[in-house]
Chains A and B, each alone.
Chain A
Amino acid sequence: MTPKNVLNYSYYPGCSLHASGKEYDESTRELFKSLGIGLREVPEWLCCGATPAHNVDELLSLSLCAKNLELADGVEGDLAVACAACFSRLKTAQHKLEGNEEKKQQVEYALDAPLHLEKPVKHLLEILAKDYGLERLEEAVRKPLAGMKVACYYGCLLTRPPEVPELDCTEAPTIMERVIGAAGAEAVSWSHRLECCGANFTLSRPGVVLQLSGEILASARRAGAECIMVACPLCHANLDIRQKEIEEASGEIYNMPVFYMTQLLALAAGVSPSRLGLESMIVSPLGLLKEKQLI
């Protein structure tokens, strides 16, 4: 193998992936291991500040992200990020600080250290589709997800706001469909790929989430999807953990498993299902996976 084919990344899992989204973390590590992509967690990383920090104090939000970028600078490879929100915060910080000397000075003062903002921040999708490449991904598939109809759900932050993520087209992205297509699944064409799931309202006004996430589930089913694939722990929580309540509120039964993208891809790459945290999904995927002879 030529050296340029050896990919190594520094890795920023973020808080959710150490807690409610643990299976996203586990499946990411398993997938990368099976693909031969190096992943080294950034030591001592901090919370990115998430939604609360930038709503309350921009300087705090920028400083937390700048600190994380500084820490990541000590680890080899571009920074791989799994959580859509962490990805968005880190990219936003780079975007806002780049060329803004006044803000840079404030953050430097807060951190009491010179800034290191240059490290490219990449979402897993970008690494898989662009760095690793769809052809290699196709070759790495051991158990194709043949006949599995997947609704790829982007949510708000993977492609928006237009000038920040640089992942794919803002309004009509295809990167998730291309990636899961390489694993042999059939990505359905559906209407609510980019709608909001209700996000943080899940705690303060769950009624909002029940409606918005309910519409997403209804749209996925309308398009004939058998499961939803996500790349964000909060979207996952709303669609999976709240699904029972959504069913009760709407009177519709969905029974729609919600996978992290890495779970599906790792399955296809031949990773043992027992290592992918499938049992921690609230809507059990086991029936579907058995039907498709994937477990």
Chain B
Amino acid sequence: MSRIGVFVCHCGENISRTVDCERVAEAARKLTGVAYATDYKYMCSDPGQGLLKKAVAEHNLDGIVVAACSPRMHEKTFRKAANAAGLNPFLVEMANIREHCSWVHEDKEEATAKASEIVTMLVERVKMNKKLQPITVPVTKRALVIGGGIAGIQAALDIADAGHHVVLVEREPSIGGHMAQLSETFPTLDCSQCIMTPKMVDVANHPNITLHTYSEVESVDGYIGNFSITIRKKARSVDMDKCTGCGVCMAKCPQKKIPNSFDKNLGMRPAIYVPFPQAVPNTPVIDRENCTYFKSGKCGVCAKVCGPGAVDYAQEDQLVTEPVGAIVVATGFELYSIAEKPKGSMIKGYGEFGHGKIPDVIDGMTFERLASASGPTGGKILRPSDGKEPHSVVFLQCIGSRAREKGISYCSKICCMYTAKHTMLYHHKVHDGQAYVFFMDARTPGKGYDEFWRRSIEEENAVYIRGAVSRLYQKGDKIVVMGSDISLGIQVEIEADMVVLATAVQPRTGAELLAQKLGISYDKYNFYSEAHAKLRPVECATAGVYLAGACQGPKDIPDTVSQASAAAAKVMTLFARDELEREPIVAKVNDKFCVACFACRKVCPYGAVEEKEIRDRQGNLVKVVAYVNPGVCGGCGTCQATCPSKSVELDGYTDEQIMAQIESLG
């Protein structure tokens, strides 16, 4: 006869508002095999856990059901408490009467009855739980960082400085990301390149960092502590070992009219290029789509002029495999484009601004390139259409952001501050210029942020107009901005020389594809989801994968660096131990019944099913059966549901247990 304890939690009022917890405990007391049942306001609190520990000793319990929240929330908490009281932690089960009951029902009578049924089911199940011992697996103390912007760089440096090896993968030919494109940074106006490039060099020189630029993650196998990553190193057409970075090839390339995307297409670059002079590594790539040699087979100038003979037209994509124990995802963001969007897209674009066809209507990043000392204009603010200095610039905030009708309801967080910065940079460079800003609210929480915004108005002459803009159109060489000033209740029309749009921050195109490779979740905008919005903000729900920077949500540089360091700290915590304890909820094959059809292998998402040979005492092969590698098994139970001979079962979720749960409903 079992001696099971049932503990019903009120969760403050979260459960007790709709479930009568006392009655649930009372009903549980009457169940066969239940030796003790009680209810308490906060079971997860210290006194609540104390209650559980005391009951284990006093009533000699051999199984526990905690009727509270989701197992994802507190299963670990109560298993730890039971363990401390001397009970095998796998004899503890959660009856979810919060997410599955109190939060989704209104009628107290019905909710209480349902809560009792849930408890009954779990009591039946826990009766058949076995004592399990945790599985230990070795930890590969190497980390993969995906993305070489400031988030990835910071995480990589922190982990590498702690003495662990880091593999940093960057899609572009150089690391640096968006921060390398910025002019000056808020709220201190220090030069972005000046604080960024030393870190880039640190990455390149760090003995613990392997850098793969112009590379992408091809596939991800394995699990926490034991991932195997396949990386596609795209053909650079330049041998990185031979190249000295002298730059002769770039100077001699006859094809020099390719818009440079690093400069938001304001400047031109050759077909063999580095995106910007401070690139790391300082090794050019050949842009095969635009290279005359690759298009027509003629030219070959770069190979001829290259002293060390580094240019290699025959180079092919390479696949390399890296074993790692943890992954930091830092793939960053891109800006909303106001151009017309394909039908069916959630994002709508801006027809009222001509879908971006007016040349002097630019986005914030383009303004950064104009203001950057290393940009295409050498830091002069000159408008793209005719290269003239604009004497009035209108800045529009919240373009795409906070605009449900345009497909995005969130705030992009960084635009209020960078627009204030833009008005200052503009005022510093064009003294008689006038900046206007159309804004909804100024959102400036952050150290020194509000002071910075006030300064743009009080000292730098920016005119802020609260209201939205309904239309932009070209009139001669001016852009007419038609908007409203809701503070004065009037319509405003400004003839501007240039318009700068603070367009919304979005995840990188294709972010969802990487998420699918990594097995991590993402929201409807494709931002990656953290495990818990408040308490686990840098971890993914998938063990061993961590998030840094704007791939998780819009972030400025200080927040990004903080999160990157936090992700690095999480990785170091993981690497602090040589072995990792894993939950022993894994599938086991019954060798007697297995007919070796390997249906389980086809459905296993973790690749955990192997072949096992059964031999007799003489060593003769009797048969081959399926074997589930417990180190790889994720405990999903798909094999159990698939097996036609019912010879594979998941510990803690056996057919017998599931049937007992169903039967308990009578």
Interface residues of A (CB under 8 A from B): 162, 169-172, 191-192, 194-195, 219, 222
| Cβ contacts under 8 Å, A162 to chain B | 405
Give, as a whole number of angstroms, the nearest-CB distance from B197 to chain A: 42
The residue on A at minimum CB distance from B358 is A191
In the complex, 6 of the A-B residue pairs with CB atoms within 8 angstroms, ordered by the A residue number, are A170-B351, A172-B354, A191-B475, A195-B471, A219-B475, A222-B476
Interchain CB contact under 8 A, A222 and B475: yes
Apart from the given pairs A170-B351, A191-B473, 5 other A-B contacts in the complex at a CB distance below 8 Å: A171-B350, A172-B340, A172-B354, A191-B474, A191-B475
A191–B353 Cα gap in the complex (Å)?
Answer: 10
Judged by a CB distance under 8 angstroms, whether B432 is at the interface is: no
A71–B480 Cα gap in the complex (Å)?
Answer: 46
Interface residues of B in 311-358 (CB under 8 A from A): 340, 350-352, 354-355
Given contacts A162-B405, A191-B480, contact A171 B352 (CB under 8 A): yes
A219–B476 Cα gap in the complex (Å)?
Answer: 10
A222–B351 Cα gap in the complex (Å)?
Answer: 21
| Cβ contacts under 8 Å, A172 to chain B | 340, 351-352, 354-355
| Cβ contacts under 8 Å, A191 to chain B | 473-475, 480
| Cβ contacts under 8 Å, B476 to chain A | 222
A216–B355 Cα gap in the complex (Å)?
Answer: 21
The 5 A-B residue pairs with the shortest CB-CB distance, nearest first, are: A172-B351, A171-B351, A191-B473, A171-B352, A169-B351
Give, as a whole number of angstroms, the nearest-CB distance from A212 to chain B: 12
Give, as a whole number of angstroms, the nearest-CB distance from B537 to chain A: 37
| Cβ contacts under 8 Å, B351 to chain A | 169-172
**Which of B350, B351, B354, B471 has the most chain A CB atoms inside 10 A of its CB?**
B351
Give, as a whole number of angstroms, the nearest-CB distance from B609 to chain A: 52
The residue on B at minimum CB distance from A193 is B473
The residue on A at minimum CB distance from B470 is A171
| Cβ contacts under 8 Å, A219 to chain B | 475
| Cβ contacts under 8 Å, B471 to chain A | 194-195
Give, as a whole number of angstroms, the nearest-CB distance from B228 to chain A: 48
A171–B405 Cα gap in the complex (Å)?
Answer: 12
**Which of A170, A172, A194 has the most chain B CB atoms inside 10 A of its CB?**
A172
| Cβ contacts under 8 Å, A170 to chain B | 351
The residue on A at minimum CB distance from B354 is A172
A66–B471 Cα gap in the complex (Å)?
Answer: 35
A160–B405 Cα gap in the complex (Å)?
Answer: 14
A225–B290 Cα gap in the complex (Å)?
Answer: 40
A268–B471 Cα gap in the complex (Å)?
Answer: 34
Contact with A along B348-384 (1 / 0, CB 8 A): 0011101100000000000000000000000000000
Give, as a whole number of angstroms, the nearest-CB distance from B516 to chain A: 32
The residue on A at minimum CB distance from B357 is A189
| Cβ contacts under 8 Å, B352 to chain A | 171-172
| Cβ contacts under 8 Å, A194 to chain B | 471
| Cβ contacts under 8 Å, B474 to chain A | 191
A219–B478 Cα gap in the complex (Å)?
Answer: 13
| Cβ contacts under 8 Å, B475 to chain A | 191, 219, 222
Contact with A along B455-476 (1 / 0, CB 8 A): 0000000000000000101111
A195–B475 Cα gap in the complex (Å)?
Answer: 15
| Cβ contacts under 8 Å, B480 to chain A | 191
A170–B348 Cα gap in the complex (Å)?
Answer: 11
Give, as a whole number of angstroms, the nearest-CB distance from A205 to chain B: 16
| Cβ contacts under 8 Å, A171 to chain B | 350-352
Give, as a whole number of angstroms, the nearest-CB distance from A227 to chain B: 20
Give, as a whole number of angstroms, the nearest-CB distance from B428 to chain A: 33
A171–B473 Cα gap in the complex (Å)?
Answer: 12
A188–B458 Cα gap in the complex (Å)?
Answer: 44
Give, as a whole number of angstroms, the nearest-CB distance from A294 to chain B: 30
Give, as a whole number of angstroms, the nearest-CB distance from B475 to chain A: 7
Give, as a whole number of angstroms, the nearest-CB distance from B217 to chain A: 38
A194–B351 Cα gap in the complex (Å)?
Answer: 11
Interface residues of B in 471-517 (CB under 8 A from A): 471, 473-476, 480
| Cβ contacts under 8 Å, B354 to chain A | 172
| Cβ contacts under 8 Å, B340 to chain A | 172
A114–B563 Cα gap in the complex (Å)?
Answer: 63
A186–B10 Cα gap in the complex (Å)?
Answer: 73
A222–B480 Cα gap in the complex (Å)?
Answer: 14
Give, as a whole number of angstroms, the nearest-CB distance from B474 to chain A: 7
A194–B473 Cα gap in the complex (Å)?
Answer: 11
Give, as a whole number of angstroms, the nearest-CB distance from A226 to chain B: 20
A169–B348 Cα gap in the complex (Å)?
Answer: 10
Give, as a whole number of angstroms, the nearest-CB distance from B478 to chain A: 11
A82–B480 Cα gap in the complex (Å)?
Answer: 32
A172–B338 Cα gap in the complex (Å)?
Answer: 12
Contact with A along B389-407 (1 / 0, CB 8 A): 0000000000000000100
A195–B471 Cα gap in the complex (Å)?
Answer: 10
A4–B403 Cα gap in the complex (Å)?
Answer: 43
A169–B355 Cα gap in the complex (Å)?
Answer: 12
A104–B350 Cα gap in the complex (Å)?
Answer: 36
The residue on A at minimum CB distance from B352 is A171
A192–B354 Cα gap in the complex (Å)?
Answer: 12
A222–B477 Cα gap in the complex (Å)?
Answer: 12
| Cβ contacts under 8 Å, B350 to chain A | 171
Give, as a whole number of angstroms, the nearest-CB distance from B130 to chain A: 56
A195–B470 Cα gap in the complex (Å)?
Answer: 11
A131–B354 Cα gap in the complex (Å)?
Answer: 28
Give, as a whole number of angstroms, the nearest-CB distance from B361 to chain A: 13
A201–B352 Cα gap in the complex (Å)?
Answer: 25
The residue on B at minimum CB distance from A171 is B351
A172–B474 Cα gap in the complex (Å)?
Answer: 15
Give, as a whole number of angstroms, the nearest-CB distance from B566 to chain A: 42
| Cβ contacts under 8 Å, A195 to chain B | 471
A162–B340 Cα gap in the complex (Å)?
Answer: 16
Give, as a whole number of angstroms, the nearest-CB distance from A218 to chain B: 9
A191–B355 Cα gap in the complex (Å)?
Answer: 13
The residue on A at minimum CB distance from B405 is A162
Give, as a whole number of angstroms, the nearest-CB distance from B484 to chain A: 14
A267–B352 Cα gap in the complex (Å)?
Answer: 32
A219–B480 Cα gap in the complex (Å)?
Answer: 12
The residue on B at minimum CB distance from A218 is B475
The residue on B at minimum CB distance from A195 is B471
A191–B476 Cα gap in the complex (Å)?
Answer: 11
A194–B352 Cα gap in the complex (Å)?
Answer: 9
| Cβ contacts under 8 Å, B355 to chain A | 172
Give, as a whole number of angstroms, the nearest-CB distance from A252 to chain B: 15
A170–B471 Cα gap in the complex (Å)?
Answer: 12
Give, as a whole number of angstroms, the nearest-CB distance from B506 to chain A: 20
Give, as a whole number of angstroms, the nearest-CB distance from A151 to chain B: 13
| Cβ contacts under 8 Å, B405 to chain A | 162
A191–B350 Cα gap in the complex (Å)?
Answer: 15
A128–B480 Cα gap in the complex (Å)?
Answer: 34
A170–B349 Cα gap in the complex (Å)?
Answer: 12
Give, as a whole number of angstroms, the nearest-CB distance from B218 to chain A: 39
Give, as a whole number of angstroms, the nearest-CB distance from A104 to chain B: 27
Contact with A along B262-284 (1 / 0, CB 8 A): 00000000000000000000000
A191–B493 Cα gap in the complex (Å)?
Answer: 14
Give, as a whole number of angstroms, the nearest-CB distance from B81 to chain A: 53
Give, as a whole number of angstroms, the nearest-CB distance from B631 to chain A: 56
A219–B350 Cα gap in the complex (Å)?
Answer: 21
A283–B262 Cα gap in the complex (Å)?
Answer: 53
The residue on B at minimum CB distance from A169 is B351
A171–B351 Cα gap in the complex (Å)?
Answer: 5
A103–B350 Cα gap in the complex (Å)?
Answer: 34
Give, as a whole number of angstroms, the nearest-CB distance from B584 to chain A: 54
| Cβ contacts under 8 Å, A222 to chain B | 475-476
The residue on A at minimum CB distance from B473 is A191
A131–B480 Cα gap in the complex (Å)?
Answer: 37
Give, as a whole number of angstroms, the nearest-CB distance from A154 to chain B: 12
Give, as a whole number of angstroms, the nearest-CB distance from A165 to chain B: 15
A219–B482 Cα gap in the complex (Å)?
Answer: 15
A194–B354 Cα gap in the complex (Å)?
Answer: 12
A191–B475 Cα gap in the complex (Å)?
Answer: 8
A87–B474 Cα gap in the complex (Å)?
Answer: 31
